[in-house]
Amino acid sequence: KAGVTQTPRYLIKTRGQQVTLSCSPISGHRSVSWYQQTPGQGLQFLFEYFSETQRNKGNFPGRFSGRQFSNSRSEMNVSTLELGDSALYLCASSLGALDTQYFGPGTRLTVL
Amino acid sequence: TQLLEQSPQFLSIQEGENLTVYCNSSSVFSSLQWYRQEPGEGPVLLVTVVTGGEVKKLKRLTFQFGDARKDSSLHITAAQPGDTGLYLCAGPNYGGSQGNLIFGKGTKLSVKP
């Protein structure tokens, strides 16, 4: 069974631009969670989607948004990028809300 | 708000040494998970402990869940350079802005040959 895939793996953007990251969960998994990981803050929860509905959202500004499609694939978007948005963005999929989460390799975003 | 605190934050040892890392909370968890993350990759699940006092072994790694289900430890015997990585503990969070799984900040382990 294929694992969680994330595209692109690396991304370089400049301040003020916007970016879209993609996540394809494990087949059959309906829950997708997004995390931001930085050396100082660790893994911070962004949001969780289940069956195309956002069920939970972390404490991030409205510039961070996401969506999930009917095939469970998910995208997250960050608008008006700031230097502090540089991070590893991780996507994790699970069968249900509190089931084991399986992580993708992440997208490394660098904002210049 | 549930918190998981991990210690030490950094650990640098020589190949062949033993080590223990800790994951503590003031809250009771129904289960705790341990992940290992290598640089530039996502965390990979190592084990889930669900019963207070439970001990699980994965080759040279021994995981223990505290009797009160508020803490867990990971012991590595005869560490090898391949054990290098960030070790994260995580526990289920029932609602709130932290998501379904909350993470400690991790222990960054470096094993030198």
CA-CA distances (angstroms) from residue B50 to B1, B34, B76? 21, 12, 20
Cross-chain Cβ contact A92/B98 below 8 Å: no
- A52-60 contacts, C-beta under 8 A, 24 or more apart: A55/A97, A56/B95, A56/B96, A56/B97, A56/B99, A56/B100, A57/B97, A58/B97, A58/B98, A58/B99, A59/B97, A60/A36
> Within the 65-104 window of chain B, which residues sit less than 8 Å (CB to CB) from chain A?
88, 92, 94-104
pLDDT at A25: 97
Between B97, B100, B105, which is nearest A42 by CB? Answer: B105
At B95 the pLDDT is: 59
Min CA distance, A39 vs chain B (Å)? 9
Distances, alpha carbon A2 to alpha carbons A27, A103, A104, B34, in Å: 7, 12, 11, 22
pLDDT at A1 over 90: no
Please give the Cα distance from A110 to B56 (Å, whole number). 39
> What's the CA gap between A72 and A50, in Å, rounded?
8
Residue B2 has pLDDT above 90, yes or no: no
Average model confidence (pLDDT) across chain B: 93
A111 to A9, A89, B20: CA distances (angstroms): 14, 13, 37
* Interchain pair B106, A31: CB under 8 A: no
Residues A58-103 have pLDDT tens digits of 889 999 999 999 999 999 999 999 999 999 999 999 998 778 899 9
Closest CA–CA distance from residue A40 to any residue of chain B (Å): 9
- Work out the minimum CA distance from B4 to partner chain A, whole angstroms: 12
Query: What is the pLDDT, as a whole number, of residue B96?
Result: 61
C-alpha A2/C-alpha A102 separation (Å) is 11
Is A104 close to B99, i.e. CB distance below 8 A? no
- pLDDT given at position A16: 97
Give the three-class secondary structure for B110: strand
Q: How confident is the model at residue B97 (pLDDT cuts 50, 70, 90)?
A: low
Q: Is the pLDDT of residue B12 over 90?
A: yes
Query: Which chain B positions have a beta carbon within 8 Å of A107's beta carbon?
Result: none
**Of residues B88, B100, B104, nearest to A98 (C-beta):** B100
**C-alpha A56: how far from its chain's center?**
13
